[in-house]
Amino acid sequence: MADQVKDLTMRIGVVGAGSWGTALADLLAAKGFAIDLWVYEPELVQGIRKHRENYLYLPGAALSKKLTPHGDLGPVVKGKDIVLMAVPSHLVRSVTQQMAPFMGRRIMLVSASKGIENETFLTMSQVFKDVIPTLKGSQIAVLSGPSFAREVAAGLPTAVSVASSDLITAQKVQAVFSTPQFRAYTNDDVIGVELGGAVKNVIALAAGIIAGLQLGLNTRAALITRGQTEIRRLGLKMNANPRTFTGLAGMGDLILTCTGDLSRNLTVGKRIGQGEAVNAILADMRMVAEGVKTARSVYYLSKKLDVEMPICHAIYQVLYENHSPLQALQGLMTRDLKYEFDAR
C-alpha cells in the first residue's frame, strides 16, 4: 500500500496491555516498529518477555520480538512521537497524569479507550485536554470501530476510523496503523467517533439481556436500530456529524458489539438476562466491560442535555436501581406511541 508509513524509525509507545492494547501494539510491531508497551501487572511483564505471549488478556497469540514490555511508564512515554492510550476509560485520567512528566512538547496522543468519564462526562480526548491544557487538537487522535482484539491479533481483515480535528494528524495516524489486514479511514468528527464507541457498549448490554431472556432476533434488530437513534440524538446535541453514526465508529461498531460472541458487554448482558447479579458478574471478570460504567455517564449526561435515551435509561435502572430486565423491557414497550423519526 503506497500510502503506508515507510519510516519505521518513528518512536511509538502503547499504554495498556489488555487485549486491545496488546493487539494494537503487536500489529505495529509486526509492521516493523519498535514498540514499548506499558504493562500494569509485574508478572505479566516477565511472562511477555519470556514467552512472547500475553497469557492474561490475549492467550494463544504469539507476540513480535519488536514489542518490549515495561512495568514503568517512563520508558514507554519518554521521547516518543506517538503514544497510544489503551487502558480502561475510568483509568485514563490518572494514567495521563502519570504520563505527563515524560511527554515531549510535540507528542501525539492516540486514544483507543472507549468511554465517558463518570464525574465530568468528558470523552477520552477531552480528558487528555483537561489533564494537559497545552495539548493542541493536532496532537490528539482517536481510533475506534468494529474491531475485536482477538481477530485483529489473528490478522483477520478489519477496518476502523481514525479521527482528529486536524486532517494531517488523522492521515499520519492512518498511515501508521494501516496494513494489508488493518484498514484505517480518516474522520474529522472526534466527538462523534468517541460517542459511537462509548454508547454502543451500553446498547450491547441491552442486546445481551435480550439474548439472555431468549427474546429472539426481531427484538435484537429493533434494539440495535433504536439504540442507533439514541446514540445519534446524543451526538447531534453535542455537535457531532450525523454521518459518523452510519459509519465504522457508529453502526459498524454497534452491530459488532451487539452481535459478536467476543463482546464482553454482550456477555455481561446475557448473564444479567439469565438472572445473575451484576456485582457477581463483574467480580468474576478480569477484563473490563466498559458499558457498565458508561451507562451511568450516559444516564446523567442525557438528563443534563435533555436528550431522550430510553434504552440507555432502562439499562441504568437495571444496573443501578435494581429494576428487573423484564420490568425494564415492559417499560420500553409500553411507552407512548410515536412517529419513528426525529425531526432531524
- N-term to C-term CA, the chain: 39
**Residues with Cβ < 8 Å from 155, sequence gap 6 or more?**
181
Active site residue 136: no
Distances (CA, A) of 55 to 65, 246, 287, 316: 16, 36, 13, 33
Rounded Cα distance, 255 and 248, in Å = 10
Rounded Cα distance, 32 and 12, in Å = 11
**SS3 category, 52:** coil
* Catalytic residue selected from 31, 200, 270, 293: 200
Q: Pick the closest to residue 17 from 42, 1, 7 (CA basis).
A: 42
- Whether the CB-CB separation of 198 and 235 falls below 8 Å is answered with no
Catalytic residues: 200
